[in-house]
A and B are shown apart, each in its own frame.
Chain A
Amino acid sequence: MRMYDVAIIGAGVIGTAIARELSKYNVKVIVLDKENDVANGTTKANSGIVHAGYDAKSGTLKARLNVAGNAMYEDLCKALEVPFKRIGSLVVAFDEEDMATLQELYQQGLDNGVPNLQLLGRDEVKEMEPNLSDEIIGALYAPSAGIVGPWELAIALAENAADNGVEIRLNAAVTQIEANEQGFLVTVDEDTLQAKYIINCAGLYGDKINNMVNTPSFEIVPNRGEYNLFDKGVGDYVNHVVFQTPTKHGKGVLVLPTAHGNLMIGPTAEPVDEPEAVETTEVGLKFLREKAKRVVPKFPFQAVITSFAGLRAKVKTNDFIIEASAETKGFINVAAIDSPGLSAAPAIAEMVVGMLKDIAGGFAVNSSFKPNRRPSIHFMALSPEEKAALIAKDPRYGRVICRCEGITEGEIVDIINRKAGATSLDAVKRRARAGAGRCQGGFCGPRVMEILARELKVDITSVVKDRKASYILTGATKSNDEYGLPSQQVADSQDI
């Protein structure tokens, strides 16, 4: 049986951040995830904001870890080549009641240790964001807030962790956990493995994993957030993350540029019954449009590219649950990581590894730890001379596959063959942006499938869009069955 020091359950941004932090030590770590890609749950569908940290109540884990995590983002994203921009956020007020709330948030921010907060008047807001409504009378400005590519961060963390010796096992649903003398016997589908310690980062399934060994102590309620994404052509319509002042009627909808240069609005907030309910709704999308219009009256709705929804793991207590189980030694819950979980992720990883070191009595340092990710090539960003030199070395960089985003075959092959690499169309899109542009994969989809099939040495009909069961092709056409593939027919006829 395979033996590990630590089994991390869940390969979202929390699981992968902890895995990478642990790879700094000589510890044998495995990350398990039921999905066929890392970052395929909450991490792939959220606002992508690194919050400043004024929002959470002082003294909570959320408040402390948000502010601490935020401060770690520059270095982390630089080392891992993850898109991150510290663009600052504005919470805008429409009336005096809003202004009073901003005053409270400002004070809370000071208590939480948020740097450089400022209350702004109407004119200052207008100068910073000319497209915002004239009815806005002031704002809370937090220059330390930022935007990040959330799934890129988790993918990069996983890849770097794997480069430093962590094993990442996908398509691996944990079905049973048994505590024994050496730690835990973990059943993964038909297989079992043994781990001394378990870290539960299972997101929406955090309660179910906890309940496999512990008395139920919390319940995760999936909370759905819907989003609308707009073309890069309107990506600079706002330059900051723009929040509405929270009221008793809700938090309002935010308008922001994404780390990829698109414009985005969202999220809605709606409790749903099951942890897979990621559909968008007519009601939700309409709600977003109405709320966004209040902040940006001339919102460029015609530039919409797509909509999506994600689920947040909420609990009644409304704070992160990060604690070693009292009843089962060596089991750590990292649960209920809803907003600002992404912002806090680097700090959560440090905290959890600290807790684990305490339990284990310390770990030896991994002297060969490599903090940086192997650099990626962004072909279109190169100079003409660099482009020419690269194509001469590897002609696959001379073939553009995704026209809208300008992604070459060389870049796609690279992201398939990296550790924790892409195995589905959406996984390619998340890593290389191929298919993320205006045509949404209309032109490049068939070509990317061809490349995936070739690189992974599988039949093209087994290439999926996203999750395991999201098949794309249903079989051969009649003539393909009888005479072989069209491309093959050409080859055959040339032989004659």
Chain B
Amino acid sequence: MKSYEIVVIGGGPAGLAAAIEAKSNGAKDILVVERDRELGGILQQCIHNGFGLHVFKEELTGPEYAERFIEGLKQQGIEYKLDTMVLDITDHKQVSMINPEDGFLQVQAKAVVLAMGCRERTRGAINIPGSRASGIFTAGTAQRFVNMEGYMVGKDVVILGSGDIGLIMARRMTLEGAKVHAVVELLPFSGGLTRNIVQCLEDFNIPLLLSHTVTNIVGKDRVKEIQIAEVDENRRPIPGTERSFKCDTLLLSVGLIPENELSKSAGIRLDGITGGPVVNESMETSIEGIFACGNVVHVHDLVDWVTEESRRAGKNAARYVQNQLVQGVKTITTKPGQGVRYVVPHYIRPENIEDKLNLMMRVDNVYHGARLVIKEDDRVIKSIKKAHLAPGEMESIKLTKQELETIAGKEITIALEIEEAKE
């Protein structure tokens, strides 16, 4: 059986950054496994700009951002396989995969980096009643058709969900000559980035209907009409508020789900809130030597943060194979408190921190003038004032090694302290 120091599963932004960083930190044999026909993952279909502001201090398109990492991978001489599907990972880090060229292949890894990304929630998952006509697409699938295959998926469009892909697709479809009637959002706030609401909806006069939902899909063969209604605080349609759009297409941008079927089969512990593996400061999962990064851990809104997190995973995978990661030492749990849905990483072993650690988290509602406070019992370790907080925007707090070393116990809490009333 062929063996590698590190096998990276997924050749999207997370996998690429992890592989390059692992190589730069002394790992020798690395294999990147990608199921699609090219490297770069979903970035390849994100032809809009806005990527790279943090990592490269310039605005790139998705394919441009991906290209920099693909180039980096090639320059470093890192081996990769395309069109290759991983079937199984064992807890002993044996990875089986297939592709048309090699057939069935089993390799032994010293470390594995999981970077499989996420998938979109579907119409079925939100159980919208009505017909099963054609013309209903998840926004990402529509994006692939339009940007990669070169085909339009409709002419008159309603979009359910104001996640970033939905907002981006509202603009994209408009630019391609389609009429986007509305973006309908169940919640009283958008799940997307503010800049996308401005640049993709407001600039094109596309209405954003908050606290609304799709109540029925009409059309025998192809979508003909989408019925919507306003919802009450329990998210139930309010009688009398129904209206409808004559259209041929419904795009869904109703959430992303980390894709962890492989993680589950390996027996890795998952977080019920994020849907991704529980990880420590090194982005290592509950199985020693199996690391995870990017959207497979928790859904990010900026690829720049995926890169940052994945570099950390790659570097630590390299440290692991060189026996530089300290195992079985003091461990601090990061506990989400009031207003905070989750915190990544879930555990910190301060001995493995070189200078600082980024804690990433999402809040559960829209807040103005609140503080994100990290505490050990009643002692405040760090407190940051935030003018605006929203579930659609990931927050991060840096903790220095010195700050981490002040923690005596086994748990810190990250919570919101609200100074003014919630919106």
Contact = CB atoms under 8 A, between A and B. Distances in A.
Contacts of B248: 474
Q: Which of A467, A470, A480 has the most CB of B within 10 A?
A: A470
Contacts of A473: 145, 151-153
Given A400-B98, A475-B151, A279 B103 contact: no
Interface in A82-129: none
Given A229-B124, A442-B138, A477-B150, A470 B103 contact: no
Contacts of B100: 391, 395-396, 398-399
A280 interface: yes
A134 B365 CA distance: 39
B85 A403 contact: yes
Contacts of A396: 100
A470 B151 contact: no
B220 interface: yes
Interface in A417-463: 438-443, 445-446, 460-461
Contact of B131 (A278, A464, A469): A278
Contacts of A279: 129-131, 216-218
Interface string B202-230: 00000000000001111011100000000
A478 interface: yes
A391 B125 CA distance: 35
A476 interface: yes
Interface string B114-135: 0000011011110101111111
A304 B106 CA distance: 34
Nearest to A408: B98
B159 to A, nearest CB: 16
B155 A474 contact: yes
A250 interface: no
A470 B221 contact: yes
Contacts of B176: 477-478
B150 A476 contact: yes
Contacts of A471: 134, 221-222
A28 interface: no
Contacts of A474: 151-155, 248
B150 A479 contact: yes
A392 B101 CA distance: 8
Contacts of B194: none
A94 B222 CA distance: 44
Majority SS of interface residues in chain A? mixed
A264 to B, nearest CB: 13
A480 B150 contact: yes
Contacts of B102: 398
A474 B83 CA distance: 28
A468 B134 CA distance: 11
Interface string B16-55: 0000000000000000000100000000000000000000
Contacts of B177: 478
Contacts of A487: 149-150
A460 B119 contact: no
B134 A465 contact: yes
A398 B134 CA distance: 30
A285 interface: yes
Contacts of A438: 119, 122
Contacts, number: 152
Nearest to A473: B151
Contact of A400 (B85, B103, B127, B134): B85
B119 A439 contact: yes
B90 interface: no
B152 A475 contact: yes
A439 B221 contact: no
B96 interface: yes
Interface string A372-394: 00000000100010011001100
A461 B133 contact: no
Contact of A470 (B134, B140, B149): B134
A461 to B, nearest CB: 7
Contacts of A470: 133-134, 221-222
A392 B152 contact: no
Contacts of B261: 404
Given A398-B99, A399-B100, A470-B221, A443 B119 contact: yes
A305 B83 CA distance: 27
A278 B220 CA distance: 8
Interface residues of A, number: 59
Interface string A350-363: 00000000000000
A476 B152 contact: yes
A445 B141 contact: yes
Contacts of A272: none
Given A403-B35, A443-B119, A473-B151, A304 B103 contact: no
Given A284-B129, A398-B101, A472 B134 contact: yes
A306 B126 CA distance: 8
B186 to A, nearest CB: 15
A81 interface: no
B106 to A, nearest CB: 7
Contacts of A485: 149-150
A466 interface: yes
Q: Which of A278, A304, A442 has the most CB of B within 10 A?
A: A442
A278 B103 contact: no
Contact of B119 (A285, A442, A475): A442
Given A285-B129, A388-B104, A439 B122 contact: yes
A308 interface: yes
A460 B148 CA distance: 14
Nearest to A480: B150
B149 A305 contact: no
Nearest to A382: B104
Contacts of A280: 129-130
A442 B103 contact: no
B366 interface: no
A327 interface: no
A54 B222 CA distance: 41
B216 A440 contact: no
A388 B130 CA distance: 44
A464 B134 CA distance: 8
A472 B125 CA distance: 21
B85 A306 contact: no
A363 B198 CA distance: 75
Nearest to A276: B220
Contacts of A400: 35, 85, 98
B106 A384 contact: yes
Interface of A: 228-229, 276, 278-282, 284-285, 304-308, 380, 384, 387-388, 391-392, 395-396, 398-400, 403-404, 406, 438-443, 445-446, 460-461, 464-480, 485-487
Interface of B: 35, 83, 85, 87, 96, 98-104, 106, 119-120, 122-125, 127, 129-135, 138, 140-141, 144-155, 176-177, 215-218, 220-222, 237, 248, 261
Given A388-B104, A392-B103, A399-B99, 17 more contacts: A279-B129, A306-B124, A308-B132, A384-B106, A391-B104, A399-B85, A400-B85, A403-B35, A442-B140, A443-B119, A446-B149, A466-B134, A469-B222, A474-B152, A475-B151, A476-B152, A477-B151
6 contacts: A284-B129, A406-B87, A471-B134, A474-B154, A475-B152, A476-B151
Name the 10 nearest CB pairs between A and B, nearest first: A306-B124, A480-B150, A395-B100, A465-B134, A469-B221, A391-B103, A400-B85, A398-B100, A470-B134, A388-B104
